[in-house]
Amino acid sequence: MNIEVISFGFLHDTPPAAHITLDLRAHFRDPHISPDLRHMTADDAPVQAAVLGTPGITDLIDATARAAAAYAAGPSAEDIVVAAGCAGGRHRAPTVARAVAELLTSAGHVATTTHRDLHWPVVNR
């Protein structure tokens, strides 16, 4: 059984179908507001540090990995999908998606990560 962790941006399209969907828009600091980070992505260490340094985010990552593992422990052989969304899909969502997948992998699960909207340019808002 595979656990797929998808990052996405709410401003680009509807959220993907998932067993667990995280909406990171309202509760966690957006690196987009920093001119230094705005044009970077989750591929850049300063963005990762900003997102992972946000109070509460590591607790959410841990809880999400535990919830996905609980789904995977069930009797169904169906793959599990976790979706993490932020406004543009370039900063918070992909950073969180990678962290969740890394935790799952380190716990022995097969976890893959897909970044639906990471490639899009910065959304001007």
| Reported confidence tier of residue 79, pLDDT bands at 50, 70, 90 | very high
Q: Global pTM? A: 0.95
Name the band, by pLDDT with cuts 50, 70 and 90, for residue 124: confident
Higher pLDDT, 28 or 102: 102
For 55-76, what is each residue's pLDDT tens digit?
A: 999 999 999 999 999 999 998 8
Average pLDDT of the residues in 111-117: 98
Contacts 24+ apart (CB under 8 A), 47-56: 47/91, 47/95, 48/95, 50/91, 51/91, 51/92, 51/95, 51/96, 52/95, 52/99, 54/28, 54/29, 56/27, 56/28
